[in-house]
Amino acid sequence: MSVPFVDFKARVAAVRGELVAALARVLDSGWFILGPEGEAFERELAAACGAEDAVGVASGTEAIQLALSAVGVRAGDEVVTSPLTAAFTGLAVLAAGARPVFADLDPATLNVSPDAVARAITPRTKALLPVHLYGHPADLDPLLQIARERGIPLVEDACQAAGARYKGRVVGALSGIGALSFYPTKNLGALGDGGAVLVNDPAFAARVRRARNGGQTDRYHHAEPGINSRLDEMQAAVLRVSLRHLEAGNARRRELAALYRRELAGTDGMVLPAEQAYARSNHHLFVVRHPRRDALMAGLAERGIATLIHYPVPLHLQGAFASLGGRRGDFPVAERAAAEIVSLPLYPEMTDAQALAVAAAVRELAARRT
Ligand SMILES: Cc1ncc(COP(=O)(O)O)c(C=O)c1O
């Protein structure tokens, strides 16, 4: 049985009528940028995420960049973040003019360790940027305590974590400000690129709204520099559909994760992702660890089962961040994880039979000694 990593055709088919109606509404409105769909989506998203406000932007990367700028990050500042994340997290820090400083991970969650974050802070640190990796929330309370004690704002990279909960509350703006991505593979996906800044402080929200639109205060009057990072009406209309299905999609992901956990318990050499007591993951990715990861992936590929590695190269070892001077050995937990992790397919449209076939193949391959 072949199992893709995601199945966009099935996802679209499940809501095709709603998508066509949403897109037709925009076509008929004759209004394509910064209009009623975007405004409605921002209201609905903020409500769903327990945030005061949400500002739609063109990508998760720019949502992070704009959030960092809004809290006051400027050229030459440092931002403490994770070395094991999408490179876009670090690239957003660079785009905000700042320097990413990495902090090693809690091996149980592969999210930043609060102790490592505290050690990475210097007088130049102007923001903390933990990532809710794979949709499992970082342990926010100790991180927020560090942020408060040091007087440093905390921006949540919730790009993978739409609808995930920390101690019962939806993540994204628990620190006051955070970023979401609507890249199509995300749990809350668009039919193209998109992102949002979730924000509780009206002054920060106003700043992000200006900055995403070139810094315009009035038409053709730019009081300050900004970028062009507007969420268009087509994507906003699509995202209103996706948002209606987010909770059901996350619930189905939870069922599949439970099935994997049950079927893979005790598998030779395998470490399964553990949900911490404080967390309710949105199961964006189901990432297991295995010492013979590459052989496992090859065996699964032979059986038509797609897997990916999120992420094979930690940021401090990526060419894009070479100027930061990172070396192998700097972040041992992240480096070891990068050599052992593999993401198994998990998406709401996946059948139990597909998940059982993946688990059976994984068990069989893991039991091999070579
Ligand atoms: C953790 C994380 N941060 C940032 C991003 C960037 O989001 P986008 O691709 O929407 O720019 C992504 C997704 O690619 C991500 O997974």
Share of the chain above pLDDT 90, in %: 99
Helix (H, G, I), strand (E, B) or coil at 211: helix
Q: What is the pTM of this model?
A: 0.98
* Contact 86 CB / ligand 1 (< 6 Å): yes
88 Cα–ligand 1 center, Å:
6
Residue 303 has pLDDT above 80, yes or no: yes
Nearest CA to ligand 1 atom 7: 60
Q: In this predicted model, what pLDDT tens digit does every residue of 92-104 receive, in sequence order?
A: 999 999 999 999 9
Nearest CA to ligand 1 atom 8: 60
HSE value, Cβ hemisphere, 13 Å, CA-based, for 329: 1
* Mean pLDDT value across residues 177-198: 98
* Contact 89 CB / ligand 1 (< 6 Å): yes
Q: In this predicted model, what pLDDT tens digit does every residue of 108-161 receive, in sequence order?
A: 999 999 999 999 999 999 999 999 999 999 999 999 999 999 999 999 999 999
User: How distant, in Å, are the alpha carbons of 150, 250, 343, 351 from that of 78?
Assistant: 14, 34, 31, 45
Q: In this predicted model, what pLDDT tens digit does every residue of 65-90 receive, in sequence order?
A: 999 999 999 999 999 999 999 999 99
Residue-level pLDDT at 288: 98
Q: In this predicted model, what pLDDT tens digit does every residue of 320-357 receive, in sequence order?
A: 999 999 999 999 999 999 999 999 999 999 999 999 99
Residue-level pLDDT at 1: 85
Residue-level pLDDT at 370: 60
86 Cα–ligand 1 center, Å:
6
The pLDDT confidence band at residue 369, using thresholds 50, 70 and 90, is confident
Q: In this predicted model, what pLDDT tens digit does every residue of 263-296 receive, in sequence order?
A: 999 999 999 999 999 999 999 999 999 999 999 9
- Going by C-alpha positions, the residue among 142, 59, 160 that lies closest to residue 103 is 142
58 Cα–ligand 1 center, Å:
11
Return d(Cα 297, Cα 230) in angstroms, integer: 39
* Mean pLDDT value across residues 243-262: 98
* Contact 59 CB / ligand 1 (< 6 Å): yes
Name the amino acid, one letter, at 14: A
Rounded to whole angstroms, the maximal C-alpha distance in the chain is 67
Return d(Cα 2, Cα 11) in angstroms, integer: 17
* Contact 82 CB / ligand 1 (< 6 Å): no
Q: In this predicted model, what pLDDT tens digit does every residue of 155-187 receive, in sequence order?
A: 999 999 999 999 999 999 999 999 999 999 999
